[in-house]
């Protein structure tokens, strides 16, 4: 499996954004900085959403709540382009009021299961793994962990939890 990197992220009527398009031209870590209420958490949720996560954050009860309320929008979407080893994959996930989200890979509509399998196999990501996306406020919990729990957390994070079970 090659290492894919995020090349671009676009949002339309998604959470705090009416429209935003971000291009990531440099390789390496991506950091979003800004004051309270500037949309950092919305970008975090957008990336999680477009990768197929079904975790909604505690403040949202339905997918319709992800649609930006300005302008009476009926739908919203997030699109991400990943590149690696000379190829790219474009993921898109849409939400419409009162409907289940729709999934697209390279412009082709696919089932949720097919979408998640492509993300898992091609990108090597499980967006519902709580160690892949650590929500705001959960990071502080790590520093409060007891030593044994912290070791278990780190082993899970780096993929050694199964190895320990076999020892």
Q: Is the pLDDT of residue 1 over 60?
A: no
Query: Rounded to an integer, what distance in angstroms lies between the CA atom of residue 99 and that of residue 23?
Result: 30
Q: Within this chain, do residues 104 and 143 fall inside the same structural domain, yes or no?
A: no
Sort residue 55 into left (φ over 0), alpha (ψ -120 to 50) or beta. beta
> Mean of the pLDDT values across residues 20-27?
90
**Which range of residues forms the domain containing residue 102?**
5-125
Asked if the model's pLDDT at residue 25 lies above 60, the reply is yes
Shared domain for 147 and 88, answered yes or no, is: no
Are residues 121 and 141 part of one domain? no
What the block records as the tokens of 51 is 């990768």
Do the beta carbons of residue 133 and residue 48 sit within 8 Å? yes
Confidence (pTM): 0.78
Residue 127's pLDDT is 75
Does residue 34 register a pLDDT over 70? yes
Q: Are residues 120 and 148 in the same domain?
A: no
Q: Is 51 exposed, middle or buried (0-12, 13-18, 19+ CB in 10 A)?
A: buried
More confident call, 155 vs 17: 17
Q: Is the pLDDT confidence value at 100 over 50?
A: yes
Residues 162 and 81 both lie in one domain: no
Query: Higher-confidence residue: 155 or 132?
Result: 155
Q: Is residue 42 part of a domain?
A: yes
**Residue 149 contacts by C-beta under 8 Å, 6 or more apart in sequence?**
none
pLDDT at 35 over 50: yes
Is pLDDT at 109 greater than 80 in this prediction?
yes
Burial 112-121 (b: 16+ CB within 10 A, else e): eeebbebbee
């Amino acid at each position: 499996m090659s290492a894919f990197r995020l090349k671009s992220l676009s949002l339309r009527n998604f959470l705090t954004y009416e429209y935003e398009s971000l291009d990531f031209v440099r390789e390496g870590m991506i950091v979003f900085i800004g004051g309270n209420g500037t949309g950092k958490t919305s970008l975090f949720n957008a990336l999680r959403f477009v990768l197929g996560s079904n975790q909604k954050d505690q403040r949202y009860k339905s997918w319709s709540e992800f649609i930006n309320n300005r302008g009476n929008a009926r739908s919203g979407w997030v699109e991400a382009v990943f590149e690696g080893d000379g190829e790219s994959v474009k993921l898109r996930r849409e939400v419409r009021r009162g409907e289940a989200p729709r999934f697209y890979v390279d412009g082709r509509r696919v089932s949720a299961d097919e979408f998640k399998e492509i993300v898992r196999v091609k990108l090597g990501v499980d967006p519902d793994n709580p160690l892949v996306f650590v929500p705001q406020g959960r990071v502080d919990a790590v520093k409060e962990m007891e030593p044994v729990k912290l070791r278990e957390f780190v082993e899970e994070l780096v993929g050694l939890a199964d190895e320990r079970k076999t020892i």
